[in-house]
Amino acid sequence: MATPSELAEHTEVHLLERPTFETVQRDGYVYVAGQRNANVHAYRVGDAAAAVVWAREESRRRGHKDVEWWVGWTTEPRDLAERLLVCGLQRSEHPPTLTGMTSATPPPAEPGIEVRRVETLEDHLATLEVDWRAWEVDPAELDERRERETARFEAMMATGTVHHWAGFLDGERVGMGRAIDMAEGVALFGGAVLPEARGRGVYRALVRARWDHALARGTPLLVVQAGPMSQPVLAGLGFQAHGDIQLYCDRL
């Protein structure tokens, strides 16, 4: 059984099966391939140059445009980041660092905020529109994203490991939260609130909804790799920081 710290450092590796993603175990690292790109989660990388070459070849075979390496606080060798830079990788920009955090205690409730679990395709797409608007996704990408999400919705619901919630303020959909199940807990895997609705408890209410889900399935632990915007909010909700993960991008 993985410890909370291990789950926080290598969250994606410990997720239960989800549609359109494939996990490949390698010697000292784990390669996780999605539809458009891939992540490499490093543990004990003996030959960094050879690992980079393999990840590049495998990603090109899959038609990916980039590979992102995730280097955690226990990754060896300790100078792996420098070796990746020598191989031509660059620090990722959005963001370059994530903080691995967990919480085994219930976050405060926000009774004034309505939160609904997403269960239909129409609701799913409407909720993701909030996410894309909050993150200012290029409008040229939206049609492709809608088509991709429509195509994978039935498989996602059938697998039953990926969940979404919508947050409402005064009856208007203003927030989105995603969770993916793990054997030992539940991972917070994306969340956003529209700028005009921030600071009113919507984000906190979405965190609480995912805690309630974790509790209901008998795994009362929330795990997150938090970006710079969510890290201080989650710390205020009682999340413990275990360490930082540095991200490096290999553009093919």
123 and 216 housed in the same domain: yes
Q: Which residues contact 129 (CB under 8 A, 6 or more apart)?
A: none
Q: What is the pLDDT of residue 208?
A: 98
Residue 43: which CATH number?
3.40.630
Q: Is 243 exposed, middle or buried (0-12, 13-18, 19+ CB in 10 A)?
A: middle
Q: Which domain holds residue 49?
A: 4-97+246-251
Q: What is the pLDDT of residue 252?
A: 93
Q: What is the pLDDT of residue 19?
A: 92
Q: Which residues contact 19 (CB under 8 A, 6 or more apart)?
A: 152, 155, 156, 159, 162
Asked whether residue 236 is domain-assigned, the answer is no
Asked whether residue 103 is domain-assigned, the answer is no
The count of structural domains within the chain is 2
Q: What is the pLDDT of residue 15?
A: 98
73 and 31 housed in the same domain: yes
Q: What is the pLDDT of residue 246?
A: 98
- The percent of residues in the chain predicted with pLDDT above 90, rounded, is 97
Asked whether residue 13 is domain-assigned, the answer is yes
60 and 128 housed in the same domain: no
150 and 188 housed in the same domain: yes
Asked whether residue 93 is domain-assigned, the answer is yes
Collapsing DSSP to helix, strand or coil, 23 comes out as strand
Q: Which residues contact 139 (CB under 8 A, 6 or more apart)?
A: none
Asked whether residue 235 is domain-assigned, the answer is no
88 and 119 housed in the same domain: no
Q: What is the pLDDT of residue 243?
A: 98
Per-residue pLDDT reduced to its tens digit, 9-32: 999 999 999 999 999 999 999 999
Average pLDDT for the chain: 96
Question: How confident is residue 94, by pLDDT bands cut at 50, 70 and 90?
Answer: confident
**199 pLDDT exceeds 90?**
yes
14 and 84 housed in the same domain: yes
Residue 185: which CATH number?
3.40.630.30
Structure tokens at 117: 């679990």
Question: How confident is residue 114, by pLDDT bands cut at 50, 70 and 90?
Answer: very high
Q: How many residues does the chain have?
A: 252
125 and 89 housed in the same domain: no
79 and 126 housed in the same domain: no
**Which stretches of 11-90 are DSSP H helices?**
48-62, 80-86
d(CA 148, CA 142): 10
151 and 196 housed in the same domain: yes
For the segment 105-111, the average pLDDT, to the nearest whole number, is 95
